[in-house]
Amino acid sequence: MIFRQLFETDSSTYTYLLACRDTGAAVLIDPVIDSVERDIELIQKLQLTLAYTIDTHLHADHLTGARVLRNKTGCQVAFPEVEMPECADIAMKEGVPFQFGSIRLDPLFTPGHTSHHFAYRLDDGTQSRVFTGDALLIEGCGRTDFQSGDAATLYHSIREKLFTLPDETLVYPGHDYNGRQVSSIGQEKARNPRLGMDKSEADFIAIMQDLDLPYPRKIDFAVPGNEQCGKCPDNVPAEFQGPCHRFDQGE
């Protein structure tokens, strides 16, 4: 398997490239519109074919690169079946493995950050990985105060879905704001200050209620744009219009 972890600096988003060495088929998990040129250049350099983009959820902090990548490469757009936008091509379903080439992803329904959030597990027999999106972060978790988020739901998603994976499973999050790249289920169970150790559901809800986080600076255009697979809506502020101007998203 070919694997790359890629980082978009403005939203501190990790995008993951996975590819089958035998067939050259590749997927991008959580691509960002700002980084489409980088992603295409890397795929061409590695002599791969982008088969799919996969999003973990409708992002509020950036526009997905799914639509632009489909326009430029002919790939298909995969999205969680829960609240799947009409523009997507493939529904990701828990309990239904997603296979491309020799690689198998197992979708896991992990709501709480949003009501439709999915994580994706990959176990190749040698190493187990889980791409946790914004549900479980390194020594943190996604916020639960918008997009039908719910702290109690997220607590159970993490404790009952993710924390039941083998401790050696590597955790690749959707974001990190402190330069960290990877954790493990065992480490998060032991060290995560919000969810690890003996934190109760009541403890977690109290922690999330006291975060007092700022209003997401891109949410007003990112969510409606991502409901159209990353189409730039008319209300994108001037300072964020660069990627929209660079790409012809013709319909």
Residue 32 and residue 62 in contact, taking contact as beta carbons nearer than 8 Å = yes
Q: Model confidence over 233-243: pLDDT tens digits?
A: 999 999 999 99
At residue 250, the pLDDT reads 45
Q: Model confidence over 122-152: pLDDT tens digits?
A: 998 889 999 999 999 999 999 999 999 999 9
Q: Model confidence over 135-194: pLDDT tens digits?
A: 999 999 999 999 999 999 999 999 999 999 999 999 999 999 999 999 999 999 999 999
At residue 247, the pLDDT reads 86
138 within some domain: yes
Residue 97 belongs to domain with CATH number: 3.60.15.10
184 within some domain: yes
Question: Residue 251: is its pLDDT beyond 80?
Answer: no
251 within some domain: no
60 within some domain: yes
186 within some domain: yes
Domain that residue 179 falls in: 2-243
Q: Model confidence over 88-135: pLDDT tens digits?
A: 999 999 999 999 999 999 999 999 999 999 999 999 888 999 999 999
Q: What number of other Cβ atoms are within 10 A of residue 231's Cβ?
A: 19
Number of domains forming the structure of the chain: 1
Q: Global pTM?
A: 0.96
250 within some domain: no
Tokens 């020799």 belong to which residue? 102
Answer left, alpha or beta for residue 210, where phi above 0 means left and psi between -120 and 50 means alpha.
alpha
CA distance 65 to 122: 22
249 within some domain: no
Runs of H (alpha helix) within 97-241: 151-157, 185-191, 201-209, 219-226
170 within some domain: yes
